[in-house]
Amino acid sequence: MTTARPLDAEAILTATEAVLRRHGPEKATVRDVARALGVSHASVYRHFPSKAALREAVTRRFISRAHEGLGPLARDTRLAPPDRVRAWLTALFTCKRNMTCEDPELFATHRILVAEHRAAATDHVADLLEQLSGIITDGVRTGDFAPTDPTATARTLFDATMAYHHPAHAPEWQLPETEAALQSVCTLLIAGLTARD
């Protein structure tokens, strides 16, 4: 049996997401993915050595795709660092909220997979903290922020806004007052970072 396009990792990951939606993470198998692609399960294993490796790759892909705009925003020096902190935290919240609205089944599956593959989540958080630390470093350099340890401060900002990006708080993200509450928190946090005479 042959597929319409060459079998590659991206095709397998796309098919795996569809299978996960259809069967759920508890029942989805590599054989289901292979069947959806019209190939043998051995063909899938040539790209991913195990079911766990395939599921971790899907998890990393989903996380990366959902947050792909954050990196460029963190590096956008056209925005002053205080504005960039606010824009980045708001964008992170928007990404998370959109994930729950646009594809709730995949979001639910994603939560299960992240619990299985903690390394993917740990790497993702480290990347987010590095982006936020970069903004703070720029702010200290420009004098917009008081001298501080950018790494520790990034962690503090991230933790202080946990209610707006941790999946445990997802039910609250649809409430009409949530975004305004985030903006109030951002105002307070940015005021704490701002350099004073």
6 secondary structure, DSSP code? -
Residue 1 lies in a domain: no
3-class state of residue 40 by DSSP? coil
Per-residue pLDDT tens for 172-183?
A: 999 999 999 999
In the predicted model, is pLDDT for residue 3 greater than 60? no
Per-residue pLDDT tens for 77-100?
A: 999 999 999 999 999 999 989 888
**Is there a single domain that holds both residue 113 and residue 162?**
yes
pTM of the model: 0.85
Residue 117 lies in a domain: yes
Which pair of structure tokens corresponds to residue 162? 């946990």
User: Which domain range does residue 15 map to?
Assistant: 9-49
Strand extents, DSSP E, the chain: none
**Is there a single domain that holds both residue 72 and residue 167?**
yes
**pLDDT class of 117 with cuts at 50, 70, 90:** confident
